Structure 1
């Protein structure tokens, strides 16, 4: 493929809290790109192999976390845009730096698929992400080596995928998106290939992980333990128990009663178990489910559409597979919820379709999409109470739910006679006072004409599809103008921070991609070692030692024999490894 054709490829990425996916739109269809384990879902987990001082991403890191939780990190998407450092094996990272490692892994998967470099990407975010979180996501993409063509809302991506498959539809739909760590709900209209986002709402810290944590907390409470203390004192117990609770959560859809094994302090399992039923899980989850009421009522209210006028409710995100969620949604809307498109895949598919729209792919030329501003944007003003001025009030210039791209203007007035300058402070949010909103930045306009108080100043906000906010201040008295592009002022997201992060991440070594299947087998065997009967432990440990040695021995015959032996041993102990054709790579 020539370089021009290569440069036109825009991949779509669903950067999730729990799992991430990468997709491409090609020949009028969306295609998921598999990772080195030939799976389309890559767990959003980062691990550091201390012995080799190498980074691993995805399922191998997932396995490593069970035995070495201090060397792994997950759920960092929830910390995007925050001034918060995450410790990973005594190294410190910001959330966007860890996210960039996930994105880099996906980029390598795409380059293996296409056999050439991939540079351009569309990356999805929760609709209710604020500006700082969106900028952090964009920086993560850039750190991974992408030119980020668009940051697109997850429900919008899901709607694009739905709209592509329902081009002739004329419907009002709700996209209910409950992922691993965030919740979004969006109301939109589809008409002959055109998609119009009408309203959106959400919760940035509610997802499937919270339901897992609910089971975990219930188990600990039944054993007279507190999560925070146990996590600090016995991290191996918590890591193994979290894994156990996650598996139970998924299986409760099919079974009414299950047993949860309770780990010892060192993470090994004893004979201690406790029963959990579907009804108990419902009780555990009730408080979490009730949190969905407020954003659902808000999105319907903002849309101006009655619930009974909604034609379809689309479920998106792996957490919507829980029976309690599907039942809640169907009760709220009074109709069946649809899962015609795989909830895990639909956002990545939509991101790929957005990439095709950007690159003017003829197969999507009839599709048109409009999105909305998820949060109000405005400035800080003073209000007069009696003879006193009170500052810190919020004046929205662009209201939430406004179709973007958009340009809006508000007029403000000078406060004092001969006022020489004006400070413009920019905020995002819905609170009446600025202290309840997110500050995006500020700037001043100087050398104002010396006039009496009340001189008119016009402030224009222009907001585009990429979330870029341009502000123009106009002084009609002199026609003086000042334009400013609001750039993020959050720690970790400046140009200097970007350069520092690049240097830091360049020092990290990635575990070789083609060796990951065997590393995954090794981690699986180490995890099983903790569960085998004591009399069998020594024999299995010997096989593990031999297999680990064979991985670096550069002797194919030795490696193949060691691998065969460990697979046979695991199977004989009741832990069959799901070996796949692609697991036959050299060490």
Structure 2
């Protein structure tokens, strides 16, 4: 293979993943996998300790041998935002994390893409749910590195969809609402398009809601019907696998048909669209709550109601569900725009963003040759140019653990949710006791003052070299940068002691640990 500057856009999905690129004519295209499919099931199956299968074959194999593989790994990455302990799976005597499993999926996607292109490609843009927090985003970045990829950027999925929607078209400025319901996560995002740039105003979501939940409801319904006739699908893996495959077919069919017959162990059961809607109604109601929460938050940005929104775009395969389209139309009072393929928009948008990234790099190389940009200015200039195409917001408020006057610990929010990034904020706090040797800056994510309702994602320790009285001033400065990382600066105003660092996130591997793990994973063949 020959090397050429192509940047792949990857939609790393919970249930299905896809990859795209921009061809030599500037047209974004989905790259088929080695089976000729435009998407790949995000399922990993171990044939043995040294061989991994990813995709359709892995999906069918896992159903019959569930202890030898993993599905829905992205949901476990999302759960890093809320759980205290990282999930792992022990297979053939070795433990694998969500990042490890995701790295196998990424490696397979890029391997097939390179074979299709006939070129070696290593540079990628990977999309993430807009509601992913610092920890989950860094886990995705780590997965890319473990796969041996050069992760140029992480791009929010709704922003990728907006880029795809506006690319190559002359569109008037408008306010766009994106409803993104994927296989395992749900996002809503409000943005403004000014004819050149997509600027996110607000975002919200649920990382534990998606089409996989719809599948589960349909599975439980049909399994119960079969049980009433003496068929226990849960006790027979082959029957269970057959039902799961039929459920996926049924769900797709009900997007256009009013009813569909499903076979379970030689018997047929009819599922109507009305019944399917009834089964998932509570989940749909959860998305409506999130939609209204977003609209409430958008009032701070001058959006008073749905009448101020010009266009509604549906993204994610689960948005094909007629009940979803009906709900969105009812809530917003507008018919959704369904001109884009909801399964492919995110990957295509990531590829377009990658092409923009490449053009900016080429422009900066030329500016360096001309002497108009110094080497030390390149990164800042690159961010400036990228901000001219798309800008995002914080998906969660960022604060630190502080004490109230009564001595109770609280979350002191420094950067509010939906603040445009890059952004920064600072506050001066007092030491809690005299003669402190250190000041521990504990970083929290969450909207509540109650620290039990927030998540601690890391900490920075400031060493104090002099005996200081109680309430000695400590300045804490947080900077959330364009790459989605948090820089922490802390200084004692009494004696000048200071520390500045990029926050080391809790439960994340160090660069050295990532390299060791990458070398170990490279011993496993991915097909």
Report the TM range for the smaller structure's normalisation.
Answer: 0.7 to 0.9
1:2 Cα deviation after fit: 7.6
2:389 aligned to 368, 375, 380, which one?
A: 368
Whole-angstrom distance in 1 between the partners of 2:432 and 2:182: 47
**Which of 469, 474, 499 is the matching residue for 1:452?**
469
Corresponding residue of 2:244: 242
The residue number in structure 2 matching 1:111 is 114
Equivalent in the alignment of 2:263: 261
Residue 477 of structure 1: how far off its partner (Å)? 2.8
In the TM superposition, what whole-angstrom CA distance separates every residue of 1:159-212 from its partner, at most 9, and x where no partner exists? 121232445321001011000110000000000211110000000011111111
Cα distance in 2 for partners of 1:312, 1:450 equals 60
Tell me whether 1:390 sits opposite 2:408 in the alignment: yes
2:57 to 46, 56, 60: 60
Alignment of 1:436-451 (within 5 A): 436-447=453-464, 449-451=466-468
Where does residue 189 of structure 1 map in the other structure?
Answer: 192
Q: Which runs of 5+ in 1 are unaligned?
A: 263-268, 512-587
* TM-score, L = length of structure 2: 0.87
Farther off after superposition, 338-347 or 411-420: 411-420
C-alpha displacement at 1:63, in angstroms? 3.5
Match of 1:215 in 2: 218
**Structure 2 residue aligned with 1:419, among 436, 440, 445?**
436
* Pair 1:485-2:502 in alignment: yes
Alpha-carbon spacing, 1:87–1:30, altered in 2? closer, same or farther (3 Å):
same
| Aligned residue runs from structure 1 range 116-127, under 5 A | 116-127=119-130
**Secondary structure of the structure 2 residue equivalent to 1:408:** strand
Q: Answer yes or no: is 1:284 the counterpart of 2:279.
A: yes
SS at match of 1:303: helix
Change (3 A) 1:170 1:382: same
Comparing 21-30 with 171-180, greater Cα deviation is found at 21-30
Structure 2: 5+ residue stretches without partners: 364-384
CA distance, structure 2, for counterparts of residue 145 and residue 221 of structure 1: 45
Partner of 1:33: 31
SS in 2 for 1:239: helix
Query: 1:472 maps to what in 2?
Result: 489
Deviation at 1:471, TM superposition (A): 0.4
Deviations 1:394-429 (A, max 9, x none): 011111101111121112112233434311111112
Paired residue secondary structure (1:453): coil
Deviation, 1:216, is 0.6
**Shift, 1:334, TM fit:** 0.6
Aligned residues: 491
Q: 1:86 Cα deviation (Å)?
A: 2.4
User: Matches of 2:176 and 2:117 in 1, distance apart?
Assistant: 36
Question: Which residue is 1:352 aligned to?
Answer: 351
Contact 1:164 1:193 in 2 (8 A): no
- The TM-score with structure 1 as length reference comes to 0.79
CA–CA separation in structure 1 for the residues paired with 2:253 and 2:476: 55
Deviation at 1:64, TM superposition (A): 2.8
Counterparts of 1:89 and 1:505, CA distance in 2: 14
Using the alignment, how far apart are the partners of 2:311 and 2:168 within structure 1?
14
For residue 19 of structure 1, the aligned residue among 8, 13, 16 is 16
Relative to structure 1, the CA distance from residue 137 to residue 70 in structure 2 (aligned partners, 3 Å threshold; closer, same or farther) is same
8 A Cα contact 1:169 1:193, kept in partner = no
Q: Quickly say closer, same or farther: Cα 1:445–1:68, change in 2 above 3 A.
A: closer
CA radius of gyration, larger in: 1
Aligned to 1:507: 523
Q: What's the counterpart of residue 367 of structure 2?
A: none
Change (3 A) 1:372 1:311: same
Closer/same/farther in 2, CA of residues 442 and 334 from structure 1, 3 Å limit: same
RMSD: 2.4
